Amino acid sequence: MKCIFVHTPSASLFVLGILGTLLGLAVPVLRGQASQQSRRAEGSPAGNTENGKKQFKAHGCANCHSYSGQGGAGARLAQNPITFQAFVNYVRMPKGSMPPFGNQVTEAELADIYAFLKSVPPSPDPKSIPLLNRID
């Protein structure tokens, strides 16, 4: 089967029009993503990850969320994309079964805990674990 494309000025204009429309739609979306990322970075205070790890254990967070924040009886906190302010609000007045911490944890300690949780690397893909691939 042979495909023949007839090159005409109207066909070229049509293709350029489609490309221009796609570009016009893509640029605002990319700008929105970039500004959203910069706002997220601005909204997160710089915290000390080592102190955050200590505070995470000292305040009993590890009892429910595990030592690396990967979850357990409590929700998974590591690699969770919530903002710092949403994190603070939830710790102060949770909606689930988590006990409220109110002002028992300072803003600086919460910033450190948040930094620690953001520093935890993602869990490995189960397909990359040889022992799990041996199961028949």
How much is the pTM? 0.62
Q: Is residue 114 domain-resident?
A: yes
Whole-number pLDDT of residue 124: 84
Same domain, yes or no: 57 and 115 = yes
Residues 44 and 112: their CA atoms lie apart, in Å, by: 10
Same domain, yes or no: 21 and 61 = no
How would you class 54 by CB atoms within 10 Å of its CB: exposed for 0-12, middle for 13-18, buried for 19 or more?
middle
Q: Is residue 103 domain-resident?
A: yes
The string of pLDDT tens digits covering residues 25-81 is 554 544 554 444 444 445 678 899 999 999 999 999 999 999 888 888 988 898 887
Half-sphere exposure of 59 (CA within 13 A, CB side): 22
Same domain, yes or no: 97 and 58 = yes
Count how many domains the chain has.
2
Residues 74 and 66: their CA atoms lie apart, in Å, by: 8
Kindly tell me if the per-residue pLDDT of 116 is higher than 50. Answer: yes
Same domain, yes or no: 54 and 35 = no
How much of the chain exceeds pLDDT 90, in percent? 38
Same domain, yes or no: 91 and 62 = yes
Weakest mean pLDDT among 20-24, 33-37, 95-99: 33-37
Same domain, yes or no: 61 and 114 = yes
Q: Is residue 31 domain-resident?
A: yes
Q: Is residue 134 domain-resident?
A: no
Whole-number pLDDT of residue 29: 47
Segments forming the whole domain that contains residue 22? 13-43
Whole-number pLDDT of residue 95: 87
Q: Is residue 33 domain-resident?
A: yes
